[in-house]
Amino acid sequence: MIVFDYRAPSPALREYVRQYQIVGFSFAATITVPVKPYWPRPENCLTFYPRDTEYIEHVNGTKEKWKTRSTLVGQHSFVMNRQPEHDFLLFQVVFQPGALFRLTGIPMQELTNSFVDAEAVFSKEIRLVNERLSSTGDYLEMINIVEVFLWYLIRRSGKKALPIDKVSHLMLQNLDSLSLDWLADQACLSTRQFYHNFVQRVGISPKLFSRIIRFDNAIKLKNAQPVKDWLSIALRLGYCDYQHLVKDFREFTNLTPPQFFQIENGAPERSFGHAET
């Protein structure tokens, strides 16, 4: 069994949420579940585990089973190996840049490259959400449950979007290299103010965020068009040459593009004929 469903939020929530990712696998108990090399993506997330959870391999090589039913996932700048359990279901809210900061008030650099128990942040409110998600197999009902919770957070925070949030959304949609001065001007801030506020709202610097956007697009393009060579992918996405693409791969995964793609080909969803695109 596999569930591989990406959905847009209701229109009124699109200021806060980019998409919902509902991903589930059922593997026989005799099978070792494959590892997912979860590459850096431009995202901060709230993740729910209505069934089994997963094992997380940290950068130092240690591995732990994630025990909580919901987590806040900060912006990552290196690959994380994640191994689902046999009856796995994940409901992930991928926020718009800056939205999680607006909803929690937590400086996002405190969550960078980390997972945090969501109950430690939202307390009893999210426990009810976890219970309700675990009691249904209807994915549309899951979306409704989560959206009710998100509206509660929005009403509680009361923080409006600022020009800097619109700028970070623009960065997601634009693969061209945008100067820091131009971005700051669009955010109505000095360059120094823009840099400081961006790190607080997103978790990493604007330059690193742009690099991760392009890197994420490179992997998804390769997944969508496996026969396309890496040089063509590099040039299409604005890399100067193949070696600049290799540099990003080595920094974010410690592997070359072909080496990483070979490992990614063994991800759990591949067992069911799916690939992230």
- Predicted local confidence at residue 49, as pLDDT: 97
Among 2.60.120, 1.10.3470, 2.50.20, 3.30.1490, name the CATH number for the domain at 2-157: 2.60.120
Percent of the chain topping pLDDT 70: 99
CA 253 to chain CA centroid, nearest Å: 16
Pairing mode of beta strands 63-65, 54-57: antiparallel
Q: Confidence band (pLDDT; 50, 70, 90) for 155?
A: very high
pLDDT of residue 58: 73
Decide: 17 and 161 in contact? Cβ < 8 Å: no
27's tokens: 């593997």
Residues 258-277 have pLDDT tens digits of 999 999 999 999 999 999 99
Structural domain boundaries of the chain? 2-157, 163-204, 207-272
Q: Give the pLDDT score at 178.
A: 86
DSSP line for 6-69: EEPPPGGGTTTEEEEEEEEEE--TTSPPPPEEE---S--EEEE-SSB-EEEE-TTS-EEE--SS
The answer regarding whether domain 207-272 maps to CATH 1.10.10.60 reads: yes
Chain-wide mean pLDDT for the chain?
A: 95
Tens-digit pLDDT profile for residues 47-63? 999 999 999 987 677 88
Q: Do domains 2-157 and 207-272 have the same CATH topology?
A: no
Q: In the predicted model, what is the mean pLDDT of residues 78-97?
A: 96
Question: pLDDT for 212-246, tens place per residue?
Answer: 999 999 999 999 999 999 999 999 999 999 999 99
Selection from 129, 131, 112, 104 nearest residue 43 by Cα: 112
pLDDT at residue 122 is higher than 80: yes
Please state, in angstroms and rounded to a whole number, the distance separating the CA atoms of residues 219 and 267.
Answer: 13
Cα–Cα distance for residue pair 75/237, rounded to 1 Å: 21
